[in-house]
Structure 1
Amino acid sequence: MKKSVFILCAALSLGACSLFPPPYKVPVTQGNLVTKEQLSQLQIGMSESQVTYLLGNPMLRDTFKPNEWHYLYTTLYATPDTKQSDADDLVLIFSDGVLTQIKNN
Structure 2
Amino acid sequence: MRCKLLTAAVVALGILVTGCSTLEKVVYRPDINQGNFLTPADVSKLQKGMTKQQVAYILGTPMLQDPFGSETWFYVFRQQPGHQDVTQQTLTLTFDGGGSLSGITNDTSMMKQEN
Alignment of 1:87 with 2:88, yes or no, is: yes
Runs of at least 4 residues of structure 1 off by over 6 A?
none
The 3-state SS of whatever aligns with 1:34 is coil
**1:24 matched to which residue of 2?**
28
The 3-state SS of whatever aligns with 2:85 is strand
**1:41 matched to which residue of 2?**
45
Structure 2 Cα separation of the partners of residues 64 and 49 of structure 1: 20
Structure 2 Cα separation of the partners of residues 38 and 25 of structure 1: 30
Per the TM alignment, residue 33 of structure 1 is displaced from its structure 2 partner at its CA by: 1.1
The 3-state SS of whatever aligns with 1:63 is coil
Per the TM alignment, residue 26 of structure 1 is displaced from its structure 2 partner at its CA by: 1.9
The 3-state SS of whatever aligns with 1:46 is coil
- Aligned-pair identity in percent equals 33
The equivalent position to 1:57 in structure 2, one of 19, 39, 61, is 61
**1:7 matched to which residue of 2?**
5
CA contact (8 A) 2:28 2:82 kept: no
Structure scoring higher RCO (CA < 8 A, sep ≥ 6) equals 1
Alignment gaps of 5+ in structure 1: none
Structure 2 Cα separation of the partners of residues 76 and 88 of structure 1: 12
Alignment gaps of 5+ in structure 2: 108-115
Say how many residue pairs are matched: 99
Q: Once the two structures are superposed, what CA deviation does each residue of 1:56-85 show, in whole Å capped at 9, x if it has no partner?
A: 110111212420000011112453xxx621
Structure 2 Cα separation of the partners of residues 41 and 100 of structure 1: 14
Structure 1 Cα separation of the partners of residues 42 and 82 of structure 2: 29
**TM-score, with normalisation over the residues of structure 2?**
0.73
